[in-house]
Structure 1
Amino acid sequence: MTQNKYLFPFMMITSLFFMWGFVHNLDPVLIPHLKRSFSLSTLQASLVDSAVFIAYFVMALPAGFLLKKFGYKTGIIIGLAFFALGSFLFIPAADTQLYSFFLAALFIIACGLTILETAANPYASLLGPAETATFRLNFAQTFNGLAATLAPVIGVKVILIQGLSDGELSTMTAPARAVALASEASSVKGPYLVLGCIILVIAVIFMFLKLPEIKEEEKEIGEKKGVWHALRHKHLSWAVTAQFFYVGAQVCVFSFFILYATKAAGIDQQTAGKYAGYGMGLAFLIGRVIGTFLMKFIRAELLLVIYAVICVLLSASAMFTSGYVALFSVIGIAFFMSIMFPTIFSLGIKDLGADTKLGSSLIIMSIVGGAILPPVMGYISDVTHDIQIGYIVPLICFAVVFLFGFTGHKVVPRHKI
């Protein structure tokens, strides 16, 4: 899979996939938790995702330039520093009981994640033979799937605590109710303190770790390059678009799962949280493992097309069925969308040469879809009073991914650009 000299660096890079996967998959727990604590609408609660994914839009290009000037290792250490700082800010956020403070802390965490993902995704692709790059990136992303399994299960135990019932809260005076909800909101302090400490330890390890700096092939020396030059690659432009819609779909499916499950299947939040981990998360992990294996026999773009069609059908099922059929339709989406991010990414940066780092930044920048599309789904859910109708958003997103896999991934020869 990788040459021997790249094995340990590849292992450390893979650990980053787990860590950002873990913090991202705490968001489905944070959304119902903060929705209750601050008495938010579904649209307002979706701003948790907006705060996280708007950072990808703001920081993606600066992250790319940072990597180009200082290299992967420095970028990774800076990203981990932002990650730790944002985690520690959850403590004053809980103390002040300001929803905006929570959103600011999440934004800072996401700034760090943007730098980490901008570095780690291409680094995992480049640490070894080019012909196994997609397989290698999917393997690293498997640990992201492991985090998706563990984070919701742990999150519901340490964050989504069983507080007073709605009936009990309704009998309390406004000040007493505010105090009770504030106590519930403070449950985030311990978990994020521990998370921040772990990230600091990882940052120290990277400071002393010798990472080989991978040099992309520079074939057009002397020509001024920039964003528009990179976007002249048709398959990169398509990848940016496809990743925007894919990430929007993934965030909608994962972040609203607990709210969706309680409505569509009629289960409580604690049970829904377990389905989020052992159902959604485990399906995502197993899907990534099986998908990575299948890529040894099926071309990545063909597998992407097949999986996108299935996700469109499952999204329709999530809209119009109920009970456990609806619940397992959404869990099925997690299985089949599991290969999409790394596959779109690796196909998008294929044969970019000197534009690889900038192309990577642009694809990471497109993750802003996770900030824009969940509020759209939240708005539809609020207006229709039915979160299931909101699944029209993921359905459309997976249709775009299908188009990328069907035609958009094709590389135009450089002399034609």
Structure 2
Amino acid sequence: MDKNNGLLAKDGVSFLIPFVLITSCFALWGFANDITGPMVKAFSKIFRMSVTEGALVQVAFYLGYFVMAFPAALFIQRYSFKAGVLTGLTLYTAGALMFIPAQAVGMYYPFLLAYFIMTCGLSFLETSCNPYIYCMGSEDTATQRLNLAQAFNPMGALAGMFVAMQYVQARMSPMDSAARAELSDTQFDMVKNHDLEVLIQPYIFIGAVVILLLVLIRLMKMPKAGDTRSKKSLRTALGELVKIKNYREGVIAQFFYVGVQVMCWTFIIQYGTRVFMDEGMDERGAEILSQKYNILAMVFFTFSRFICTWFLKYLQPGRLLSILAVCGAVAVCGAILFTDRNGVYCLVAVSACMSLMFPTIYGIALRGLGDNVKFGGAGLIMSILGGSVFPPLQAALIDSGISFCGLPSTNISFIIPLICFVVIATYGHRAYVRHNITHDYNS
């Protein structure tokens, strides 16, 4: 390899400091993503709603990614990656601080708006940061570089899960859903206001942290790193992108991956709560223990990310992706078929299988896009909409109470994640064939 090009260098220019700063954004959106999953259960209890209504948190959260991805791409196409990052951090801060007036109003839907604004910022960040990292060195090492940067995402996610458990779930009123349903309106409002005050504290804190990073990046001189402006129109770029089968299928695979990630990390709470309550535990204790298993799953995810990044030195990305997707499918089958703690263990194992997937699909799909990388990256960020589409479907299955062969509805609902893993495994295999056998990304 040319000594002027490498993991964090290109044409003799080092990108170490920009890499560190931009990678910190990965941790910040990891925090936002994984403090949100437990909030589905929290909001359901606070506002006395069904699981399906609580899942609207995920709809609002991931809808922001979808809506803002291409506007963000157009913005950074006209200006720069740095401008995109600054805009994203600004919206992130605005959404987080909107939890203060939402709590004052005391209604559910202002919180959904706050989540939407916050994730419009996350969409800007991911649309800017992922291709920026991609361009910080040789294209040959791009997938490895993306995996390295993304390895810091679960560190933020772990912090989000810990805060959700320790500073939200553990400090909320211990009253279970049944007891809350019997409260008078006055009593209900008192409990609700207390719980909402607890819930908004982490968002106020993270808003302050994001402001500090915003100022730091604003003052730092950032290299261009492939950050040249292009006069190519969105229509022209999209016309070229849709002709590339490797890219089209990558967008679909990413849509299903984000869906399966959100489902497994959100509904492990419902799954574990059912299992532990069947063992005789009270609802609040079961929820907290379930969140501990969720944190354990993220620990597996974090270590697996570093391990899989090392494996990429020896295995082609598409091959490793398909292997892990098959393993994930097997683990989900265990979650469906077991009705005791073994099912919870299977859901923990799923996270180890998912660790590689987002950055690897991203890196594979961007191969050979040339100056369409920014718009191509935006399409892949739009596919995060899968996190908004699939969770309500799984929640509806859980709420339906449907059972089959003695399996409860919570178990049956994991058929949807199983289908997602099959789609991902198929893409990984096809990507491997294209890269190693046909050498044709449109085959």
When normalised by structure 2's length, the TM-score is: 0.89
Q: Does 1:270 align with 2:276?
A: no
The change in CA–CA distance for 1:174 and 1:306 in structure 2 (over 3 A counts) is same
Q: Distance in 1 between matches of 2:79 and 2:231?
A: 21
Q: Does 1:180 align with 2:191?
A: yes
Q: Distance in 2 between matches of 1:178 and 1:153?
A: 27
Q: Does 1:146 align with 2:155?
A: yes
User: Conserved in 2, the CA contact under 8 Å of 1:94 and 1:186?
Assistant: yes
Q: Which moved more, 1:231-240 or 1:158-167?
A: 158-167
Counterparts in 2 of 1:7-406, with a 5 A limit?
7-160=16-169, 161-166=171-176, 168-169=179-180, 172-215=183-226, 225-266=236-277, 268-277=286-295, 279-384=296-401, 386-406=409-429
Shift of 1:293: 1.0
The change in CA–CA distance for 1:183 and 1:288 in structure 2 (over 3 A counts) is same
User: Conserved in 1, the CA contact under 8 Å of 2:245 and 2:441?
Assistant: no
Q: Distance in 1 between matches of 2:371 and 2:399?
A: 46
The change in CA–CA distance for 1:154 and 1:75 in structure 2 (over 3 A counts) is same
The change in CA–CA distance for 1:78 and 1:26 in structure 2 (over 3 A counts) is same
1:368-409 CA deviation, whole Å, 9 max, x = no partner? Answer: 011111101111111135222110111000110011101156
Q: Distance in 1 between matches of 2:338 and 2:442?
A: 48
| AA matched with 2:305 | R
Q: Which moved more, 1:227-236 or 1:305-314?
A: 227-236
Shift of 1:177: 2.1
Shift of 1:111: 0.1
Q: Secondary structure at the match of 1:116?
A: helix
Q: Distance in 1 between matches of 2:442 and 2:324?
A: 31
Q: Which runs of 5+ in 2 are unaligned?
A: 1-6, 403-408
1:108-142 CA deviation, whole Å, 9 max, x = no partner? Answer: 00000001000111111110122111111001111
User: Conserved in 2, the CA contact under 8 Å of 1:216 and 1:353?
Assistant: no
Query: Over aligned residue pairs, what C-alpha RMSD do you find?
Result: 2.3
Q: Which runs of 5+ in 1 are unaligned?
A: none
User: Between the two proteins, what is the percent identity of the paired residues?
Assistant: 29
| AA matched with 1:101 | P
Shift of 1:414: 8.3
Q: Secondary structure at the match of 2:151?
A: helix
Q: Which moved more, 1:92-101 or 1:77-86?
A: 92-101
Shift of 1:155: 1.5
Aligned to 2:3: none
Q: Distance in 1 between matches of 2:85 and 2:307?
A: 29
Q: Distance in 2 between matches of 1:382 and 1:54?
A: 22
Q: Distance in 2 between matches of 1:238 and 1:173?
A: 53
User: Conserved in 1, the CA contact under 8 Å of 2:48 and 2:180?
Assistant: no
Q: Distance in 1 between matches of 2:154 and 2:320?
A: 18
When normalised by structure 1's length, the TM-score is: 0.95
| AA matched with 1:285 | T
Q: Secondary structure at the match of 2:307?
A: helix
Q: Which structure has more RCO (C-alpha within 8 Å, separation ≥ 6)?
A: 1
User: Conserved in 2, the CA contact under 8 Å of 1:28 and 1:257?
Assistant: no
User: Conserved in 2, the CA contact under 8 Å of 1:234 and 1:408?
Assistant: no
Q: Distance in 1 between matches of 2:98 and 2:394?
A: 28
The change in CA–CA distance for 1:416 and 1:255 in structure 2 (over 3 A counts) is closer
Q: Distance in 1 between matches of 2:96 and 2:152?
A: 21
User: Conserved in 1, the CA contact under 8 Å of 2:245 and 2:442?
Assistant: no
Shift of 1:165: 2.1
User: Conserved in 1, the CA contact under 8 Å of 2:77 and 2:229?
Assistant: no
Shift of 1:151: 1.5
Q: Distance in 1 between matches of 2:66 and 2:148?
A: 26
The change in CA–CA distance for 1:362 and 1:171 in structure 2 (over 3 A counts) is closer
User: Conserved in 1, the CA contact under 8 Å of 2:35 and 2:160?
Assistant: yes
1:254-291 CA deviation, whole Å, 9 max, x = no partner? Answer: 112212211134461111122211x1110110111111
Q: Distance in 2 between matches of 1:343 and 1:172?
A: 49
Q: Secondary structure at the match of 1:134?
A: helix
Q: Distance in 1 between matches of 2:337 and 2:109?
A: 35
Q: Distance in 2 between matches of 1:223 and 1:369?
A: 23
Q: Distance in 1 between matches of 2:260 and 2:247?
A: 20
1:289-316 CA deviation, whole Å, 9 max, x = no partner? Answer: 1111111111111100100001111111
| AA matched with 1:368 | L
